[in-house]
Structures are given as C-alpha cells and as structure tokens.
Amino acid sequence: MSFSYKPLWRLLLEEDQTKTQMRLELGISAATLAKMGKNEYVSLEIIDKLCSHYKVQPNEIIEWKDEI
C-alpha cells in the first residue's frame, strides 16, 4: 500500500488518546481500525470523520509513500 496512517498515530499521541478510545468516540469498527493499522485503504467517509473530529486536513491523518 502506498498510504500510511503515521500522522494519525502521532496525532493520537499528542491528544493522549488510544486507538480504542478514538474508535469508540467516532464509531469506527474494529475491522476498520485493523485495516488502518496495516496501512490498508479505508473509505473517504472514515477519513472525513477523522478530519472533522480532530479539525485537521487529510494530510494530517494520512501520508502518501512512494513504494519504489
């Protein structure tokens, strides 16, 4: 995969919040959280929920990685 959720994990550390807390607050399924943990694709609806909740732009949630 060419996307990484490292910016989101850093944001959670800054917010002193666990992945489980985030998941429960936003109503994200455990399966979706697992996909994010593996840097797999999730829907834009999930990205929108994250951006709206944390009041950030998508680039503060995900980053594109060149896989060359």
Model confidence over 10-21: pLDDT tens digits?
999 999 999 999
Radius of gyration of the chain (CA): 11
Task: Record the pTM.
Answer: 0.89
Locate tokens 């594109």: which residue? Answer: 64
Q: Is it true that domain 3-64 has CATH number 1.10.260.40?
A: yes
% of the chain with per-residue pLDDT over 70: 97
